[in-house]
Amino acid sequence: MVKEFGDKFNFIFIYTREAHPGEKIPHLASFEQKLEHAKLMTEKYINRTMLVDSLNGDIHHAYGRLPNMTYIVNRYGNVIYKSDWTDPSTIKMVLDHYLDEREMLANKIRATPYYVEWQPMRKNDSEEFMTILLRDAGPKAIKDFIESQKHYQGPVQSNSNIGKATAKKLEKWLEKQDY
Amino acid sequence: MSSYNYDTFPLDFDMQAFIDFPNIANAGTKAPDGKVCNLLTNKWEQLSTYWKEKTTIIEFGSVT
């Protein structure tokens, strides 16, 4: 997406905190360590401008402190999109729409803002996520996550047994892993 | 260690953050501004520097 839209938009990544600390990637105890983790991300995953939040997450708090959020902010400093999960296909849709809006305005077509709410669904592959987490963070991260799932009530749109069912499935998966 | 940078993934992973999210930095409102450290230059800069230049996609995350 950066290749397709990089000349029209700034793409930045803000490193926040470790959501699932483990043996290999522990929790953050200093800002120097935070810089090291962010550096690791640029080496392994992120090809955008990497910005690092303060150790206590001042910017992260201001935007809602969820682990994988995305916001889009226009040149006037107004939020035009926010999502509690980063989904490339949705972001592309929004950027395409934004460029259409710019074209309308450039052509002196009258445009007016409107409000929309939407609750799409995304693929949630727990085993794929666990595989990456086991490799990158270590078994502690996975065991902590499974334990927390047992207490998870789920978002408002889901049923309240979703956490326990997920935890059971993940425990079976972990038993089969060689680590 | 602060509770923000927890060592163990919390049993009740910050559900309040999910509850609060629909009411924080909403579309049509001013985006929160503040200082962040640019990893490449190791200098602190205003987040707004980016959106003043171009409309900006801001992704949040971590290694794990």
Residue A157 above 80 pLDDT? no
Kindly determine whether residue A16 and residue B62, on different chains, have CB atoms separated by under 8 Å: yes
pLDDT in tens, A25-58: 999 999 999 999 999 999 988 889 999 999 999 9
Q: Which residue type occupies A84? A: D
Residue A159 has pLDDT above 60, yes or no: no
DSSP labels, A30-88: SHHHHHHHHHHHHHHT--SEEEE--TT-HHHHHTT--TB-EEEE-TTSBEEEEESB--H
pLDDT of residue A90: 96
> Looking at chain B, which residue has its C-alpha nearest residue A148?
B11
* CB contact (8 A) between residue A155 and residue B26: no
Q: Which own/partner pairs from A36-41 qualify as long-range (CB within 8 Å, at least 24 positions apart)? A: A37/B62, A37/B63, A38/B39, A39/B39, A40/B63, A41/A13, A41/A15, A41/B61, A41/B62, A41/B63
Structure confidence by residue, pLDDT tens digits, B7-24? 988 877 777 888 899 999
pLDDT computed for residue A89 by the predictor: 95
Beta-bridge mates of residue B38: A51, B43
Higher pLDDT, A47 or A77: A77
Sign of CA dihedral A158, B15, A16, B36: positive
Q: Is B23 on the interface with A (CB under 8 A)?
A: no
Shortest CB distance from A79 goes to which of B27, B42, B48? B27
Q: What is the pLDDT of residues A99-112, one digit of tens each?
A: 999 999 999 999 99
Across the interface, of A14, A57, A73, the residue whose CB is closest to B51 is A73
* Separation of alpha carbons A6 and B62, rounded Å: 22
Q: Which residues pair with B59 in a beta bridge?
A: A13, A70
Answer whether B39 sits within 8 Å of A60, measured CB to CB: no
Q: Give the per-residue pLDDT at A177.
A: 87
